[in-house]
Amino acid sequence: MSGLRLFDVAGGSAVEIAARPAEVERHLQDVVEANMEAMLGVRFLASEYSTGPVHRGRIDSLGLDENGSPVVVEYKRGRDSGVITQGLFYLSWLVDHKAEFQHLVRDRLGDAAAAQVLWSAPRLICVAEDFTRYDVHAVREIRRSIDLVRYGYFGNDLLALEPVASVVPDRAVRRDRRQRGATPAGRPPESAGVSDLRAALEELLLGFGDDVSRIDRKQYRAYRRLRNFACVSHAHQQEVVVTLRISPMDVDLVPGFTRDVSQVGHHGTGDVEVRLRTERDLRRAEPLLRMSYDAA
C-alpha cells in the first residue's frame, strides 16, 4: 500500500507487517458491505444488483451516502483501471433508472430517506489495491463525482483504506463559485461579517487537501472526504454553526463555543457543534476542524 508502512512493536523491536491484496475480491466486498457506513459513510442497500437484460451487468454494491447521494461502489482485488470505466457505466445506468433506485431506497430505508435522495450528486467509489497517476488524472477530467480508495490488508485482521482522489463535477464547482458570498433563495440575509466568516471557513476547509469536496443540501453545506467532516448550517444568520465528526470525549467543551450534540437533533452529521462569531473563533476552531478532517 503506497506510502503506508505498519510495524509490530509489541516485542520491543519493530517488525514490519507487509501489505497484501485480498485473497479473493469477494472477501473484500463482503467486509466493506458489512461495515459500509463506518468505512465509507454510506448506508448499504444492495449487493450484486442486476441492471437487467439490456445492460446485462451487476453492480457490486449500491448505497446512499449521509447527504442522500446515490452511490455505486466497485471493487478490484488488484490494480486495474478498468474498475473506473466499469463503475461509470453503472453510474450512468443508475442515473437513467432513478425511479427503480428510489423504490429500492424506500424498501430498505423507508419513505423519508427515499424523499431525500440527492440526484444532483450521484457518486462512484472505486476500491482497488492501487491506482496510477493516469487514473487520478482521468477522474479529474470526468464530470462525475468519483472517489478512488486504495486498500491494503496487514496481517490477518487489519484492513486499511486510503482516499487517493475525490472529485466533484465541474458544473457543481462553477455553480458554487458563482454563488459564493450570495444568500441562497429562501434564506434571510446575513451580515457582511457572517458572509466573510463563511467564506474564510470554506477557504480553510477546502485548503486541507485536494480530496475535499462540498455538497449542498437545503439545510446545510457538507465538506467531505470519503465521509462528511464538517457540516455548516444554513439556519443561522448571526453566526456560523458547524458540526464536526469528532467525539465530544476528545474535546474540552467550552460553553458558547463548543457543545456535545450527539443526543440533540440537528442537520448534517457530527457530534460536536462549534459556533463561530469572529475570525478569532475560526483560528481557535482550526485544530478541531483539522482533527475532524483527519478522522473522515
Please choose, from the candidates 239, 248, 246, 226, the residue with its C-alpha nearest in 3D space to the C-alpha of residue 278: 239
Partnered with residue 291 across adjacent β-strands are: none
pLDDT exceeds cutoff 80 at 180: no
Grid cell, residue 220, equals: 446545510
Higher local confidence (pLDDT), 63 or 20: 63
Which CATH number fits the domain 6-167, given the four candidates 3.40.1350.10, 3.60.21.10, 3.30.2020.10, 3.40.640.10? 3.40.1350.10
The more confident residue out of 183 and 133 is 133
- Confidence (pLDDT) at 211: 84
Residue written as cell 503506497?
Answer: 2
Whether 37 has a pLDDT exceeding 90, the answer reads yes
**pLDDT surpasses 90 at 230:** yes
Q: What are the b/e assignments for 129-165, b being 16+ CB within 10 Å? A: bbbeeebeebbeeeebbbbbbbbbbbeeeeeeeebbb
What pLDDT, on a 0 to 100 scale, did the predictor assign at position 73? Answer: 98
Cβ partners under 8 Å of residue 69, min gap 6: 117, 118, 121, 122, 123, 145, 215
Going by pLDDT thresholds of 50, 70 and 90, the confidence category of residue 64 is very high
Cα separation, 67 vs 100, whole angstroms = 19
**Mean pLDDT confidence for 92-103:** 96
Model pTM? 0.84
Q: Give the separation between CA 170 and CA 71, rounded to whole angstroms.
A: 18
Q: Break the chain into its structural domains and give their ranges.
A: 6-167, 170-295
Higher pLDDT, 186 or 150: 150
pLDDT of residue 189: 66
